[in-house]
Structure 1
Amino acid sequence: GLKSPLKYIGGFDNGISHVEARYPAILFKQQLTACVEKIFGLIRDNLKKELSPLLSLCIQAPKAARVHAGKSSRSPGGVPQQLPNSQWDNIIKFLDSLMSQLRGNHVPSFFIRKLITQVFSFINISLFNSLLLRRECCTFSNGEYVKSGLAELEKWIVSVTDEFAGTSWHELNYIRQAVGFLVIHQKRKKSLAEIRQDLCPALTVRQIYRISTMYWDDKYGTQSVSNEVVAQMRENVDKDNQNLTSNSFLLDDDLSIPFSTEDIDIAIPAIDTSDIELPTFLSEYPCAQFLLQHQNVGYSRKPEWTDLIKALEVFKSS
C-alpha cells in the first residue's frame, strides 16, 4: 500500500533528520499520481468487463436481419437500411451512462478524454479480433451491420465533442478498415497495392490475407480478391514467417496508463482555494489556523507546500 509521506518529515522517533520541505512535497505528489493511476486502471478494467458481453452481440448481425438482407432486391450500390432493435443501441446507452456519471462526478475533461479513448480502443480490438477469428462474421451483410453500428458510434463521438472524446474515432481504425473491405464491391478488380494503400493502410498483409480468404458474400454472391492477389499475400506471409516476424494477426489490448505526472500538471487547471469551504473541525487545531485565515481574510498569496508541511509537523508533534 501507499506509505504516508509524514514518515519522511523530521522530528520523529525513528531518528531521521529534518529534511527540506521540497522532498516530502515531491514524494506526496508521486504517491498521489500512483493513486490516480491505480484508480484509473481499475475503472478502465471494470468498464471492459461490462462492455465485453455487449460487444459480443454486435459483431454479428441478428439472424432475422441476415435473412432480410439476403432477400433484399436493392442494387449493390444501395444504402443499407438501419436495422431494427440493433444491439448497437445498448453500446450507445452504455456510453451515455458512462459520460453522465463521469461528468456528474466532476471528473476533469482530461481524465474523461483518456478513459473514453481507451474504451474505444478496446471496442476496436474486440470487434477486430472477433472478425478475424470467426468466418461467419466475414460476410457482406455482416459488414453492413457492423458499419451501421460504427456510424452510430461516430455520431456519439461528434455529439460529445473532442473535449471528451479525444481521438476515439481514430482508435476504431482497424475495425473501420476491415469492415470497409467487407462491403467494398468488385474486390477481384483490386490490386494488393490498392488494398494496402487505399482500403486497409493500417492492416498488415497477414490481417488482410486472413479477411480476404475467409470472406464470402451471402447477399450478392460476389467473389473475394483475385487468385493473383491471394498468391502475393501468401508469399509475403511466408517471408514474414521465415524472418521470425510475429505470425499473429490479432491485436493486443493496451494495458498502459495513457498519461504521466507531467501530463496531469499541464492538463488540470489551478484551483482557487479561496472558494473552498474548509471543515469546521480544523478550527480545533492551531496548526491549521493559517488555512482558516486564508479562507476568512484572504492572503496576498496562496498557501505553499512548505505551509502544509509545517502544519503537518506541528500536528504530528501536538
Structure 2
Amino acid sequence: MIKCNVICFLIEKLKVVAKASNVNPKDPEFPSSGVEDMTRLAYLHEPGVLQNLKCRFDMNEIYTYTANILIAVNPFQRLPHLYANNMMEKYKGAALGELSPHPFAIADSAYRQMINEKISQAILVSGESGAGKTESTKMLMQYLAFMGGQNSNTEERSVEQKVLESNPVLEAFGNAKTVRNNNSSRFGKFVEIQFNEWGRISGAAIRTYLLERSRVCQVSDPERNYHCFYMLCAAPAEDVEKYKLGNPRTFHYLNQSNCIDLDVLDDSKEYLETRRAMDVVGINQAEQESIFRVVAGILHLGNVEFAKGKETDAAEPKDVKSRLHLKTVSELFMCDEKSLEDSLVKRIIVTRGESITKALDPDTAALSRDALAKIVYSKLFDWLVEKINISIGQDPKSKFLIGVLDIYGFESFKTNSFEQFCINLTNEKLQQHFNQHVFKMEQEEYKKEEIDWSYIEFVDNQDILDLIEKKPGGIIALLDEACMFPRSTHETFAEKLYQTFKDHKRFIKPKLARTDFTICHYAGDVSIFMLWHSNEPHLGFT
C-alpha cells in the first residue's frame, strides 16, 4: 500500500486586479512579512492567499506551507544557498513546520513517515508549465539520496548516484525550450526510490509518460527542439564530422524556429556533461555512439524532400541533396538505402492475405518521413529509460518505496494539439486527487468527529473528466470510434463532438472554427486544433 499524504504545489508569480464590488475582507492583524503557513490566515480566500505569497516573495521567501502542502513561487534565478548540504543537515529529523518551508522538509516528512509508519509514500509535484516542477523534483530526490544513501567507499557508483545522474541524461533527450520555460520537461516522470528495512536506498525505477513526439518534426517560433539535437551540433569537431553535421540552421527539424542558441545554456558544454552522466548511469561508449548516430540520422532524415516521380502520383527524393541526406541516414541507421527509400515513398496494404504496394504522393511521403522520425526518437527515448533502469537496478526484496511524480504542467498555447489535450487531462486527474485529498476527505473527517466548521466550497471537476474519458460517450471514446471508420475525417469527428456536447457547459464550439473545440478546464479554457493524420489515425488529431 502507498500512503499519499504529501503534495507539493507550484505556481508562477501571479498578479490579480479585482473589482471594488468583489473585494474580500482583510485581516487587520496581517503581518507585513506574511505568514509561513497559510492555515494561520484569518481569511483563507484567493486574494488573501495571493497577498501572502507576494509579501513573502518580495522578501525572497519563495516557499510557503498550507498545512502539509508546500507552495513554491518560481524565482526564475539560481538560489544555490537554499539547497547546500548544510541545509539538508538542518532539516534532517525536523518536524514539518518547525523550520522555514522547504522541499527538504517535505522529503524529510515523507522519509520519516515511511520509516515510522512502515508505509510507502508518494510526493506529487504539480503546477503550470514553467512553474519549476522539475527543479523541485531534483531537490526532493537530492534529499532522499542524502537520507538513504549507502555511503559506499567502493569505486562502483551507488544507486542514489545513478538516480541523480539520470536527470541530465533524461533532460538532454526529453526537455526543450518552450515559450514559458527554457528547460521544459516534454514528458512525465515517476521515480520509485526503493528502501530496505534500515531505510537505505536499495533500488530505483523510472517510469516515463507522454513524450511529446510531435516536437521532433514541428517546432514553433521561438521554441526549440529537444536539447540533444543542438548539443550534438555543438559537439567537438571530430564528433560533428563523424555524424556529418554542422550549423543547426541547415536542418529542417531545427530551422523552423529562429531560436537556435540559448544564453542560459552552453550546448557544447552540455554535450560533454551528458556524455559524462551517461558513463555514470552505465551507458558504455559503444552505446553512446549508437545513440548519437540515431540523433544525427533523424536530423538528416528531416532534410529529405520529395517531388513527383516518373510514375503518376509517385514520390521520389527531390534532388541530389535529398538523396545525399537519404544515403547518410541509411549509413547512420545502418540499414539498406533502397529499403529505406521504399519505406518512405510506398505503402504496403495487406488485404485478405494479399499484399498491395501503393505509391505515395510527395506530401504523403513527407508525412511518412516525419512519422518515422517521431517513432525512431520515441523508441530511442524508451530504450534510454530502460537502459537506465537496468543500470540502477531494482530491489525485489525492498520493504518500502517513496515515489516522486513530476508530470507536465497545465498547458494553454496559441495552438494546442493532441499533446495539450492529454497533458491537461492528466492535470485534471491530479486536480481531482487534490480535491479528494484536501477537501472531500478532510471535511468528511470533520463530520465523523462532529467538529463545528464552515463548509469549504470547491470546484469539483468530475464533469470535465466525464466529458473526456467517460465510456461510452466521452471525447476519447468517440475518437476511438471514429478511428474505426476508414472514411472519418477531422470534419466528421468535429461534427460528432458538436452534436454530442452541444449542451455541455464544459464544451464550447468556437464561433469561427469548423473543426476546433474548446474545453473549459479547472485552470482555464483551452481550444484544441485538429488535423487528421492519414498515416497516424490512432492519434486522431495532430
Tell whether the structures are fold-level matches, with TM greater than 0.5. Answer: no
Structure holding more helix per residue: 1
Structure holding more strand per residue: 2
Q: Which has the larger radius of gyration?
A: 1
